[in-house]
Structure 1
Amino acid sequence: MYEGVVQDLIDELGRLPGVGPKSAQRIAFHLLQAEEPDVRRLADVLIEVKARVKFCSICFNVSEDDLCRICRDPRRDQTVLCVVEEYKDVVAIERTREFRGRYHVLGGAISPIDGIGPEQLRVRELMVRLSDGTVTELILATDPNLEGEATATYLTRMLKDLDLTVTRLASGLPVGGDLEYADEVTLGRALAGRRSAQ
């Protein structure tokens, strides 16, 4: 639609997750109107993040060091391990300030339609972490969708012979939600996972 490098920029921005053609075009024209130092700063940060950021050698969270800040923190409970799909899930759980254990980032979820099986995830590394017996509880915090459920089910079966408490995040109705707007699956899980009112 546009000529040369402008179209190249729009095409590259459009490849980003959650950025459609219109958003890519808007961002491209914003960058064209921005001051050169601002654009250069963005370009420098993009290059620097690719050069410096790597994955933690223990939990596979993003880090600039060999170990992420969570794995370096001696105050974290080493007996509780929370398994998540992606590193962005670590941030979501950390924002609650409720979890004081450690994490294991799988790097995705089982999705046969996308060609992702257990072999493409960090399941083998998880089993190595569990082999020394330090972890006594494993929390499966995969997404409550088809892929996340398949991943949680697979891990539960793999871990059944270990002396380990395996729990799953509760799912159900959001705080402030109305029953009439809840879908059947969400409402069914809320009923199945009900707890004492006392």
Structure 2
Amino acid sequence: MLSAFERLQQSLKRLPGLGYRSAERLALHLLVEKPESGTELIELLKEAVNSVHACPACGNLCEGERCDICSDTSRNPDLLCVVETVPDLRSMERAGAYRGRYHVLQGKLSPIHGVGPEHLNLESLKSRLEADGFKEVILALSNDIEGEATCHYLQEEIFSPLQIPVSRIGFGLPSGGGIPYADATTLRSALDGRRSYD
């Protein structure tokens, strides 16, 4: 049977980007070096779990009825940028090159991993496109096979029937690379170099 320390380490190791050594370091830090920070972390996690949820409009994180971006009247209401995940949205925001609205798909199509259209945040996307009158949709999905397949599906099944102009970022993002790993200059270049997606 595993000790409490080992169970904590195993749990931390399941977090993205943490291996055995990093999980061990964090567990030791929380239990030995700064035990008071562990109590604060527990309280903050509980608070976040109870108050943070997906924005019903775009899928971003929010604590109220709508996220800060959806509530911001200074943003361009004509542009909608479709991203895979909340970290992608946050990377785009850090780049500071885009001031329109967002829609988070919560993933991308991947038949190998059992992810079909029914697993993505598509119903609210359709509703928004029909109701909000966007003049351009920018696809900011990963430059890999699943990202391309998702773009193709969205174009054929959603955007074409609604006759909405669609562009796709591409310049500066390496093939197979993800948006969260790109720096601000690369993302700005990718947005500026977007092309029509047909």
Q: Which residue of 1 aligns with 2:22?
A: 23
Inter-partner Cα distance in structure 2 for 1:157 and 1:34? 55
Q: Which residue of 2 aligns with 1:180?
A: none
The alignment's TM-score, normalised by the length of structure 1, stands at 0.82
Inter-partner Cα distance in structure 2 for 1:173 and 1:23? 29
Inter-partner Cα distance in structure 2 for 1:50 and 1:148? 29
Q: Which residue of 1 aligns with 2:51?
A: 52
Deviation per CA, 1:91-150: give whole Å up to 9, x if none.
111122221110000101111111111110011211111113611100000111222111
User: How far does residue 173 in structure 1 lie from its aligned partner after superposition?
Assistant: 6.6
Q: Which residue of 1 aligns with 2:77?
A: 78
Which structure is richer in relative contact order (CA contacts within 8 A, separation 6 or more)?
A: 2
Q: Tell me the matched-pair count.
A: 177
User: How far does residue 83 in structure 1 lie from its aligned partner after superposition?
Assistant: 0.3
Q: In 1, are the aligned partners of 2:168 and 2:194 still within 8 Å (CA)?
A: no
1:42 to 1:194, Cα distance in 2 relative to 1, 3 A? closer
Q: In 2, are the aligned partners of 1:55 and 1:62 still within 8 Å (CA)?
A: yes
Inter-partner Cα distance in structure 1 for 2:50 and 2:194? 47
- Greater C-alpha Rg: 1
Q: Which residue of 2 aligns with 1:128?
A: 127
Q: Which residue of 2 aligns with 1:111?
A: 110
Instruction: Say yes or no: does 1:152 pair with 2:151.
Output: yes
Identity of aligned residues (%): 42
> Which amino acid in structure 1 is aligned with residue 170 of structure 2?
A
Inter-partner Cα distance in structure 2 for 1:14 and 1:56? 29
Inter-partner Cα distance in structure 1 for 2:123 and 2:194? 34
Q: Which residue of 1 aligns with 2:182?
A: none
Supply the RMSD in Å over aligned alpha carbons: 2.2
Gaps of 5+ in 1: 175-189
Q: In 1, are the aligned partners of 2:29 and 2:35 still within 8 Å (CA)?
A: no
Q: Which residue of 2 aligns with 1:36?
A: 35
> Which amino acid in structure 2 is aligned with residue 88 of structure 1?
P
Deviation per CA, 1:5-32: give whole Å up to 9, x if none.
0111111011111111222112112222
